[in-house]
Chains A and B, each alone.
Chain A
Amino acid sequence: MKLQITIVDDNEKILGTAEMGLNGNQNVPEQPEEKMTDAQRRYLFRLLSEMGIEGVENAKRAILESLQVKDIKEITKSQASSLIEKWKGKIDSARKQEKEG
């Protein structure tokens, strides 16, 4: 069972709602996370192309599988950002190995 509470300001304007479970954990409503930007999407595709993965379907599959999401439109800004970091790191270390070897 959950108890729903409404947060109001001094003028009784509704600021938000929250749910309090019986165990006392309060779920504060969260702002939906911002979605991946066009620039991030482009960057991911550029990185994939450097890794030899080309074509929209192959690239989409690689992104979706890495992030465990079903639709490219679901991807958030922070998910895209961490994937960029991961793949950049992978490419950099491959380059480093190539130079050394």
Chain B
Amino acid sequence: MEHLSSSQISLYLQCPRKYSFRYIDCIEPPFKSAAVAFGSALHSAVAYLGEAKMNRNEINAGKLLSVFRADWEAQKCDKIVFNGESEEELLSKGVALLKQIHEEAVNWKVRGAEVPFQVPIIDPSTGEVIVPVNIMGFFDLVIEPDTIIELKTSVRKWDEESIKNNIQVSIYGYAYKLLSGRDANLQIKVLLKQRNPRIETYPTTRLDDATRWCLNLIREIYESIEKGAFHPTPGWMCADCEYAELCKRKTLK
């Protein structure tokens, strides 16, 4: 293994079997769930807005929405499977959410959008190597002052535990501090795909103990991957999983 990424860590926590299909066996998913495609199109439209603001190009809401529609159409080159919501419903929620983001963004001083990073996994106080590979990821948005915004799409509000323990946000806080020497103001912006779509912003922090916990968890995940521990995690997420059929066949074998 040459490196780990924050999405790999997150996927391993979600389901080690799914991780192995994607990253070990490199199996192309046979379809994309509508939720994933929708999340990607929203993400890329917000990144477009972020980049425009960074370059001081003011774009109106209409332009942002046309970018979103084009990004959605691009997603449809893959086979999209809808589970519950129709394309029209999803699109109208996306439009409503982006209008709100556009209004919110008026005062953003954007430093970067979809900013890639790569840092070693070390104990921040001693410099001791915890995992012998780097961790990579992307900051969705970096705005002044020292604020990292992580965008998530969800059908329901996030509870306190999910906010406090989100591993990706912990990794971003750790990486930002290592790169800049400053603590990040971490924010999770949840784009709620409800009947009345709205955005909830959860500010959060990661103190030293939380960072140590996150780094030790990454070490345990790294060791499990190296040992080839890829058991399935049956649950509600299987309904949308691209590898569900393959997984079932593998377990029955």
Contact = CB atoms under 8 A, between A and B. Distances in A.
Contacts of A54: 69-70, 73
A55 interface: yes
Interface of B: 40, 44, 66-67, 69-71, 73-74, 76-77
Interface string A82-93: 000000000000
Contacts of A44: 74
B70 A48 contact: yes
Given A38-B74, A42-B71, A46-B67, 18 more contacts: A38-B40, A39-B44, A41-B77, A42-B44, A42-B70, A45-B70, A45-B71, A46-B71, A48-B70, A49-B66, A49-B73, A54-B70, A54-B73, A55-B73, A56-B73, A56-B74, A59-B73, A72-B77
Contacts of A56: 73-74, 76-77
Nearest to A58: B73
Interface of A: 38-39, 41-42, 44-46, 48-49, 54-56, 59-60, 72
Contacts of B69: 49, 54
3 nearest A-B pairs in the assembled complex, by CB-CB distance: A45-B74, A49-B70, A56-B76
Per DSSP, chain A at the interface is: helix
Per DSSP, chain B at the interface is: helix
A51 to B, nearest CB: 11
Contacts of B40: 38
Nearest to B76: A56
Contacts of B70: 42, 45-46, 48-49, 54
A73 B1 CA distance: 27
A49 B66 CA distance: 8
Contacts of B76: 56
